[in-house]
Amino acid sequence: MPAKIIDGKAIASEIREDIKREVDAVKKEKGIIPGLAVVLVGEDPASQTYVRNKEKACQKVGMYSEVYRLPAETTQEKVLAVVDELNQNPKIHGILVQLPLPDHIDEKAVINAINPDKDVDGFHPVNVGKLYIGDPGFVPCTPNGVIELLERSGVAIKGKEAVVVGRSNIVGKPVAQLLLARHATVTICHSRTSDLASHTRRAEILVVATGRAKMITGDMVKEGAVVIDVGVNRVDGKLVGDVDFDAASQRASAITPVPGGVGPMTITMLLKNTLQAAQ
Ligand code: NDP
E strands present in the chain: 4-5, 35-41, 64-70, 94-97, 161-165, 185-189, 205-208, 226-229, 233-235, 238-240, 254-255
Ligand 1 mean position to 209 CA, how many Å? 4
146 in Cβ contact with 265 (< 8 Å): yes
For the Cβ of 260 lying below 6 angstroms from any atom of ligand 1, the answer is no
What number of other Cβ atoms are within 10 A of residue 259's Cβ? 15
For residues 213 and 181, is the Cβ–Cβ distance under 8 A?
no
Helix (H) or strand (E) holding 85: helix 76-88
| Active-site hit among 54, 160, 173, 222 | 54
Q: Catalogue all structural domains in the chain, each as residue range(s) with its CATH number.
A: 31-116 (3.40.50.10860), 140-263 (3.40.50.720)
Give me ligand 1 centre to Cα 172, in Å. Answer: 7
From the CA of 258, give the closest atom in ligand 1.
41
Residue 142 CB partners (closer than 8 Å, separation 6+):
170, 171, 175, 209, 230, 262, 265, 266, 269
**Percent of the chain at pLDDT exceeding 90:** 100
Asked if the peptide bond before residue 259 counts as cis, ω within 30 degrees of 0, the response is yes
Distance 232 CA to ligand 1 centre (A): 9
Is 103 tagged catalytic?
no
Residue of the nearest CA to atom 19 in ligand 1? 191
From residue 232, alpha-carbon distances to 213, 229, 243 in Å are: 8, 8, 10
Tens digit of each residue's pLDDT (9 = 90 or more) over 223-259: 999 999 999 999 999 999 999 999 999 999 999 999 9
Judge if the beta carbon of residue 270 lies within 6 A of ligand 1.
Answer: no
Q: Which of 7, 118, 119, 121 does the annotation list as catalytic? A: 121
Q: What is the pLDDT of residues 22-57, one digit of tens each?
A: 999 999 999 999 999 999 999 999 999 999 999 999
Verify whether residue 98 is a known catalytic residue.
Answer: yes
Question: What pLDDT digit, counting tens, does each position of 129-184 carry?
Answer: 999 999 999 999 999 999 999 999 999 999 999 999 999 999 999 999 999 999 99
